[in-house]
Each structure stands twice: as structure tokens, then as C-alpha cells.
Structure 1
Amino acid sequence: MNVSRLIPTVTLAGAVALGLTALTACSSSNAAGHKDDGKLNVVASFYPMQFLAEQIGGKHVSVTTLTKPGVEPHDLELTPRQIGGLADADYILYLKGIQPAVDDAVLQSGAKHTVDASKLTTLERHGTETGDGHEHADEHGHDHDHGDEAGADPHIWLDPVKYAEVAKGVGKSLEKADPGHAADYRTNTDALVGKIDALNTAYETGLKSTATRTFITTHSAFGYLAERYGLTQEGIAGVDPEAEPSPARIAEIHAIAKKNKVTTVFFETLASDRTAKTLARDTGLKTDVLDPLEGITDKSKGDDYIGVMRSNLAALQKALGAK
């Protein structure tokens, strides 16, 4: 048998199969860019983007998220099915700098409407503070942050003001992607921004007068929040919430806690509390949860973004000695 003569036939058969698959995928959407059920097929990278898409899209969107509840989003690895699904999405909402695998997949997806939330507000650099207003680097010489190639902090959703800016940008982009429902997207955006503005007011009022302005966290995700409300974030070991602090850093944190009357070490819901407990044991501090809101689980102190952010406010008020 001449094997070489079979190769074109197999290749052609494969091409036909791929073509039929493509036609099947195309048939699931109509000419207006909607699925057969009339809804816009939206893919969100992780929970903060999912919340925006669902709240603003409302009944006109069908939202799927690449990051399942309980999965730490920074280390997400996409399946071939998820990567392939991006090409069929009508609209993709992601945040560059949080999930490298998502950034690469979106870039290669060829999807018509892709929105990078980091472009809808202004990003800044935040590091682990030393207590005197200066950032310091870890033992490898890198700043304790993560984000895009410029080192910008991507945790914009933890600042209600910036999150509201992103919400407005998402609303406008959905209007362009699905102009037939633009009026509803505007109404939903206004309603959501109103809730986020009320959240901002609650933080301003609730943190206006406190016994200390410094808080310690295992995950350096709260730089924007700290800056917005005049607080100082002290990260134990940078962006890895499960990293073991060095003896030198423990001693430094102990000195900062004593100087600034800090009472609490915060850890998060999606990671081990081992680091926080280690530091608390060595420094005599309490532990509590400050949720970076990268995912909602049954352990979350709230059903959605607004609920968890209000729980975070209560935890900060208690730890900082709000008056």
C-alpha cells in the first residue's frame, strides 16, 4: 500500500470535518451576533469581570467564566475547550495582568469584541510598604506586585471608584457590541454604578476616623483600596498569599505593628491561613479575613461583590479601631 497517497485524502477529510464543525458553531449564532436564544455569548475571565457582565448585561447576556469558583485565578491554566470557546464568544471581558494564560488566549482568539478592563481606568504601581512610604523589593530584587509588563497593580476592582469607572466602560462597550439593547445596558450600568458609589461612601464614612491607619495582609492586593481611603497596606510576602515570611520580614512586621498599633493579620478565603497564623503567633496579633474578591465560594462573607466588600469594610473597621 502506498501510504503517501493516503495523506491528501486524510487531510481533506480532516478539513471537511473542521469545516462542518465551524459551520455548526456558526449556526448557533444569528446574524446579529447572538446565540439562538437571543442572548449575547459573553465570556468573563474571573469573578470581578463576571459580576460586571451579569449586572450590566442582565437578561440580554449569557455569561460563562473561565475561572471556576474556589480556583485561585492567578495560576489558572486553560483547557483546550476553554481556549477554543473564546473564538466563538460574542464578547470577552478580561483584566490584563492577572492571568497570563487568559491574556495569551484572548490575544489569539480572534474574537471581535474583546474588552481589557485595565484600559477602562488608570493603573498604578503598588508594592509592599515598609512603613515609611517607600516600596521595598523581595529577596530576588523584584517588587511585590504583579500586573502587566510595566509592573502595574491590576487589583482595580478593590477600589470602588475605579471599579465604577470600569463598569461605565463595560456598559459602553456592550452598547457597541449589541446596539439593539443599548438602552437596557445604560439603565443597568447606572443602577450598578449607583450601588458602587454607595459602597464608596460607606468606606469613606466608616474609615474616616480610626485608631490606626495601617493593616497587614498576606496578599498585597489592597494597594488601591489603601490609597483611596488613606490607609497603609503592609504585605507580608508580596503577592503569594501562601508564601512563608522570612525571619527578617517577621521582625520588620512586628516592629511596624508595634509602632502603628496594628491588631490583626489578614488572610483570604481562597488560600491557606498558614502564613497569617505563623506571623500572628510570632507577633501576638489576631487573624481575620480580608477577601480580595477573586472568587465567590460558600466560605465568602457575602453573596456577591457588594456583599463581600461590605464585609471587608466591617473587618477593617474592627481591626483599625474605627470610631
Structure 2
Amino acid sequence: MPNAKGWIVATALLAVASAVPGVGMTTRALAAEKTRIVAAENFYGDLAGEIGGEHVSVTSILSNPDDDPHLFESSASTAKALADAEIVIYNGADYDPWMDKLLSASTNPDRRTIVAADLTGRKSGDNPHLWYAPATLPAVAAALEAELEKRDGAHAAAFKQNLARFDASFAALMKQVDAIKSKYAGTEVTATEPVFGYMAEALGFKMLNYEFQVATMNDTEPSPSQVAAFEKSLADGSAKVLFYNSQVTDETTKRLLRLAEENKVPVVGVTETEPAGKTIPSWFGGQLHEVEQALAGLHK
């Protein structure tokens, strides 16, 4: 999960009003009359833009799909954006612990925080990749719509309409999930990290080598027995699909990818950041399509 290095420097620079947004931050049409929203991750930022439309300005802190979110370091521009925000959205469950620290250093009684983990009953120690859990994004969207109505009642009808549109598009994704589950529930799969874990569960898959994944996520060395079990699941064909975090490809991951290729195990890359040019439906839908293609190829 992203570490908290550099947050002290960032908080010390909160008062730098002229800070320029740095690399890794994207901003939508900042304007004084718009509700200012900061999202820790760009998929929550995309969601905020969908619900708020032209009546909000959104800054996403983690926004570059080519960067490893685990190596994130906050900056003066991050601190400045949070200091000015009226609504802040972040993941929680220890995925972005630097947010709590930055927010505590910049108190604002009028600022509202929306934490995905709090909305979905997740806590420290749970798999923190909450956005892949089907309940998460609709819960965040509903909480955000309610808060925008409070702050900008004149545009309540637009917010409600935008929420309904998002819910409909997400429901279509869940139909895609249900269709895959109806065909392939019980399929054994594995992954280098638990990024796609909640979605794999929703698809009805049986996840192998979870302890290995947690060790990798936490930057600890998997045990020899965990490594051996993982390699065996690829070599003997018990794992039908290998999911990997395409933003984090260390030597261990590369070795497992080679082993999957040698044993003709389909590989599906997933990301912790919404890719450029994608929306939540196209991002999730694309990954689900890859999963379906991989499994269909095994059953020809």
C-alpha cells in the first residue's frame, strides 16, 4: 500500500498558496463557484466528476497509471489542494494513510470527508483494494450526491440525475459480472497481489495463494513454501488464470509471468489506478472482457 514518506514536508508547506499542482495530480476546471473536491485516487475523482458534473472541480492525487501507487510521496501541492477542499474522498483501510495525516494537519470544520472503508464496513487488515468490491463505488456515489445536495441545493436535480445515470451504468457492469459467474463460478485462479480480489470473489472464483499475495502487497518476502505452492499452481494447471498488478512488476512477478506463459496459463493485468482515457465502466468492463476471453479460451 502507498507509504507515508514525505508527508511531514508537505504539511509544513500547507500555507504556500501559490503551489503549482505537480506530477501525478490532475485538476478539472477549478472555479470559485464550483464545489472543490479532492480525491486521493483518480477513480474516486472520476466518480466525483460524474456525480457533480459541471458544478464541481475535482483534483485527483494518484492519477498516473504508469506510477506505482505504493511509492507515492505527498508534496506541497497535495497539501495545498487538501487545504482548499470542501469535500475529500479517499479509500481508507490503510491504503492511503497519508490522507489522515495531511487532513489532521489542516483542520477545516466545513470540510466533509467521504471514506470508502467507513461506508462499506472495512477496516485495517482487510484487503484495501476496495474499489473492486461491487458495493464500494455505488456507496461512495450515494454519499457524495447527498453531500453535494446539502452544499448546492440549487443543482440537486442535476446531482440526482447524474447519480441515477452512474447507478445504471454500474448495474450494467454487474450484469457482466453475473454472466461470467454463471459460466465459470468455482474456477481456481491466482494473483501476484490481491488487487482484483474483491472482484474475483464477486465472479465466484476460488483464489489460490492468498498468503503469498498479502506478503507481496506488504513488501515482505513470501516464504519458500508459499513460493513453491504458487509455482506449482501454475505448473500443474490448477490455476486457470493469473492476475497481476501491471503497475508493480518486480523480478518475482516477472518470473511468475514467464512460468504462466510456459504453462499456457492466461494472464490478466489489473491496475490500482484508472488508466488515462478510461471511465469506470470502460475500465472495469475492459478487465471483465479480458477475464471472459481468458476463460473462454480454456474451454474451446
TM bin, normalised by shorter chain, reads 0.7 to 0.9
- Structure 1 residue 191: Cα displacement: 0.5
For residue 290 of structure 1, give the secondary structure of its aligned residue in structure 2. Answer: strand
More displaced stretch, 162-171 vs 192-201: 162-171
Q: Give the TM-score normalised by the residue count of structure 1.
A: 0.71
Q: Kindly report which structure 2 residues correspond to 1:132-281, keeping only aligned pairs within 5 A, or say none.
A: 148=123, 150-210=124-184, 213-234=187-208, 235=210, 236-238=212-214, 240=216, 246-257=223-234, 261-272=238-249, 274-281=251-258
Aligned to 1:144: none
Aligned to 1:313: 288
Change (3 A) 1:71 1:258: closer
Change (3 A) 1:68 1:254: closer
Aligned to 2:274: 295
1:75 paired residue among 71, 75, 100: 71
- Structure 1 residue 280: Cα displacement: 4.0
Q: Kindly report which structure 2 residues correspond to 1:66-145, keeping only aligned pairs within 5 A, or say none.
A: 66-69=61-64, 70-96=66-92, 97-111=94-108, 112-123=111-122
More displaced stretch, 219-228 vs 253-262: 253-262
Change (3 A) 1:250 1:292: same
Distance, in Å, in 2 between the alignment partners of 1:256 and 1:93 is 38
Cα pair 2:187 2:240 within 8 Å, conserved: no
For residue 92 of structure 1, give the secondary structure of its aligned residue in structure 2. Answer: strand
Change (3 A) 1:220 1:264: same
- Structure 1 residue 200: Cα displacement: 0.5
For residue 168 of structure 1, give the secondary structure of its aligned residue in structure 2. Answer: helix
- Structure 1 residue 153: Cα displacement: 2.5
Distance, in Å, in 1 between the alignment partners of 2:274 and 2:251 is 20
Aligned residues with identical type, % of pairs: 27
State the AA in 2 paired with 1:157. W
Aligned to 1:12: none
For residue 176 of structure 1, give the secondary structure of its aligned residue in structure 2. Answer: helix
For residue 153 of structure 1, give the secondary structure of its aligned residue in structure 2. Answer: coil
- Structure 1 residue 87: Cα displacement: 1.6
State the AA in 2 paired with 1:317. E
How many residue pairs match? The answer is 266
**What's the C-alpha RMSD, in Å, of the aligned pairs?**
3.1
Distance, in Å, in 1 between the alignment partners of 2:189 and 2:163 is 32
More displaced stretch, 303-312 vs 208-217: 208-217
Indicate whether 1:41 and 2:15 are aligned.
no
* Structure showing greater Rg: 1
Give unmatched runs, 5+ long, in structure 2: 1-13, 20-29
Give unmatched runs, 5+ long, in structure 1: 1-17, 26-34, 124-147
